C-alpha cells in the first residue's frame, strides 16, 4: 500500500509539473511569436516611392509620363503610373514632377585612385595610402555625376580593392566598384613602372612574362580581390619608352590569361591601341578592348566577328587637346597624345559604323573625375543617336559586366540605381552632364531638386 501511495503521489506531482510546463511553454510560445512578429516588422525592407514626371526605358527609348517607382530595400519592386501607386504609412516619398529618370550610369573604364598629376614623374612621390584617399574623393565626385557603377581598371598596391571594400562597408561614399587591382603587363611595357633608373630595380605590381608567369599573376590578383583582370596588350600614351602601336603580350600569353581568368569567373579587359594587339586580344577571347584608337579595318572586323566589346574612351582626346599644354604631362606623353588624338575618333567611328559592340568608358584620371558624362556627346558626334549613346552606359555596359550585377535598367528586381535630369536626354545627350538626383541601392546621395 505504501508503494501504491508513493506512486500516486509521484503521478500527481508529475501532472502538476506537466500543467506548469504547458503553461510556461504557452507563455514562451506567445512571447516568441511576438518577438518573431516584431523581428519581421523591423526587418521588413524600407519602402521608397519616387514619383517622376518621366521615366526613360533605355531599351526602347520610350518616355513614360507620370510614373512611380516603388523601391523595397535596395531593389526596384514596381514601376507603374503614379495614379496606381499609393504610398503606405512609413513609406518615404520623393516627388520629382519635372524630372526625367533613367538608370544609374555605368563607366567601364576608370582609375579612381589616380589623377593626372599622378601619372607622370610627380606620381613617384605619391604613396599608395595617399592614392587611396584621392580615390575616396574621386569616388564621391563620380557618384554625384550620376555614375552609380564603375569598372576600375588598374591601381597600385590594390588601392582600388581597398576603396571598393570601404564603399561596400559604408565607410566611403562612392559608386559600386568592379575593381582589377594591378594591371598585368610585360617587363618595360605600358603597365610597368618605367620612370625610375636601373639602380632601383623596380617594376610594377602586375608585371608578368611568359605563359607560366601570366597564369601565376592572374591567380595572384584574384587571390587579393580582383573582380576583373586588366591586361596591357599594347603600349600606351602616358608611359615612358613604349609604343602605343606595338604589341606587348603575345597571343599565347593572352590566351593563357583569358583561360585562367574565365575559369576562375573573371572577365578580361585589354588595354590596346595598336591594330595587331587589338586583333590578338580579341582572338584570345578578352571580353573588352579598351581604347582601340589605332585600329585598322582588320582589327575592326575581328572585334565584330568575335563579339568583343570596344570601350572607346574618346572624350579624353578632346580634353587633352584643349588642356595638355597647360598640364604637367611629360613631353614624351604629349607627343604620343597628339598622335593618338589625331587618329582616335576617325578610327572609332569606323567601328561604330561597322556595328562593333560598344560599352561606355572614360579613362577618368586622364582628365578630372566627375566629367565622365562628356563621353556621350563624342559618341553622338561620331554618328550614334542619343539613345544609342545612353545604351552604351546602361544596357551594353550591364551586359559586359555580367548578370550578377543587377544594373543598367529600371526594372523590378534590379538594384535601385536611379538618376534624374531635366529635359529629354534622348534629344540632347549633353543633359547627362548635369545630373541633379542620384540614388544608389535605394539610398539618395544627391538631390538638387530638394534645394529649390
What pTM did the predictor assign?
Answer: 0.89
pLDDT tens string 2-31: 454 444 444 444 444 455 444 444 444 444
Q: How far apart are CA 172 and CA 134, in angstroms?
A: 12
Edge to edge, what strands does the sheet with 147-152 contain? Answer: 105-110, 147-152, 176-179
230 is an active site residue: yes
Beta bridge partner(s), residue 274: 294
Smallest Cα–Cα separation from 107: which of 158, 57, 141, 56? 141
Mean pLDDT to the nearest integer, 38-57: 80
Tell me the CA distances in angstroms from 11 to 25, 131, 280, one per residue in order: 20, 77, 87
What the block records as the C-alpha cell of 193 is 613602372
pLDDT above 80 (res 151): yes
**Range in 199-208, 213-222, 269-278 with the lowest mean pLDDT:** 199-208
pLDDT tens string 385-431: 999 999 999 999 999 999 999 999 999 999 999 999 999 999 999 99
Out of 156, 230, 436, 446, pick the active-site residue.
230
For residues 116 and 316, is the Cβ–Cβ distance under 8 A?
no
Out of 363, 417, 436, 440, pick the active-site residue.
363
For residues 395 and 60, is the Cβ–Cβ distance under 8 A?
no
As a whole number of angstroms, the longest Cα–Cα distance in the chain is 114
For residues 406 and 400, is the Cβ–Cβ distance under 8 A?
no
DSSP category for residue 124 = G
pLDDT above 80 (res 331): no
169 is an active site residue: no
Amino acid at each position: 500500500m505504501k508503494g501504491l501511495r508513493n506512486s500516486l503521489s509521484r503521478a500527481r506531482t508529475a501532472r502538476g509539473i506537466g500543467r506548469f510546463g504547458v503553461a510556461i511553454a504557452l507563455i514562451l510560445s506567445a512571447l516568441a511569436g511576438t518577438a518573431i512578429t516584431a523581428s519581421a516588422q523591423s526587418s521588413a525592407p524600407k519602402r521608397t516611392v519616387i514619383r517622376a514626371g518621366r521615366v526613360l526605358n533605355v531599351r526602347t527609348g520610350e518616355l513614360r509620363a507620370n510614373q512611380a517607382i516603388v523601391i523595397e530595400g535596395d531593389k526596384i519592386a514596381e514601376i507603374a503610373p503614379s495614379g496606381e501607386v499609393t504610398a503606405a504609412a512609413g513609406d518615404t516619398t520623393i516627388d520629382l514632377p519635372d524630372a526625367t529618370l533613367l538608370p544609374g550610369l555605368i563607366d567601364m573604364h576608370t582609375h579612381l585612385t589616380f589623377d593626372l598629376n599622378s601619372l607622370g614623374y610627380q606620381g613617384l612621390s605619391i604613396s599608395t595610402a595617399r592614392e587611396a584617399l584621392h580615390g575616396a574623393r574621386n569616388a564621391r565626385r563620380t557618384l554625384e555625376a550620376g555614375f552609380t557603377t564603375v569598372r576600375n581598371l588598374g591601381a597600385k598596391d590594390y588601392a582600388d580593392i581597398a576603396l571598393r571594400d570601404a564603399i561596400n562597408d559604408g565607410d566611403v561614399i562612392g559608386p559600386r566598384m568592379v575593381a582589377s587591382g594591378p594591371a598585368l603587363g610585360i617587363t618595360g611595357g605600358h603597365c610597368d613602372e618605367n620612370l625610375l633608373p636601373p639602380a632601383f630595380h623596380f617594376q610594377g605590381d602586375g608585371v608578368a612574362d611568359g605563359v607560366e608567369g601570366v597564369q601565376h599573376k592572374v591567380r595572384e590578383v584574384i587571390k587579393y580581390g580582383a573582380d576583373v583582370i586588366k591586361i596591357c596588350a599594347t603600349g600606351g600614351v602616358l608611359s615612358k619608352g613604349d609604343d602605343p602601336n606595338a604589341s606587348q603580350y603575345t597571343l599565347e600569353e593572352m590566351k593563357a590569361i583569358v583561360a585562367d581568368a574565365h575559369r576562375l569567373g573573371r572577365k578580361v579587359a585589354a588595354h590596346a591601341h595598336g591594330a595587331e594587339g587589338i586583333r590578338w586580344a580579341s582572338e584570345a577571347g578578352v571580353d573588352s578592348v579598351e581604347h582601340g584608337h589605332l585600329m585598322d579595318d582588320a582589327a575592326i572586323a575581328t572585334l565584330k566577328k568575335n563579339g568583343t566589346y570596344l570601350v572607346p574612351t574618346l572624350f579624353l582626346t578632346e580634353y587633352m587637346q584643349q588642356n595638355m599644354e597647360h598640364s604637367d604631362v611629360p613631353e614624351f606623353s604629349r607627343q604620343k597624345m597628339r598622335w593618338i588624338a589625331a587618329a582616335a575618333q576617325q578610327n572609332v567611328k569606323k567601328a561604330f559604323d561597322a556595328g562593333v559592340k560598344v560599352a561606355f568608358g572614360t579613362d577618368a584620371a586622364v582628365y578630372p573625375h566627375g566629367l565622365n558624362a562628356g563621353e556621350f556627346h563624342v559618341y553622338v558626334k561620331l554618328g550614334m543617336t542619343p539613345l544609342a549613346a545612353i545604351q552604351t552606359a546602361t544596357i551594353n555596359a550591364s551586359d559586359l559586366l555580367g548578370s550578377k550585377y543587377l544594373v543598367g535598367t529600371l526594372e523590378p528586381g534590379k538594384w535601385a540605381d536611379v538618376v534624374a535630369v531635366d529635359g529629354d536626354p534622348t534629344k540632347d545627350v549633353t543633359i547627362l552632364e548635369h545630373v541633379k538626383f542620384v540614388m544608389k541601392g535605394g539610398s539618395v546621395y544627391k538631390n538638387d531638386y530638394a534645394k529649390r
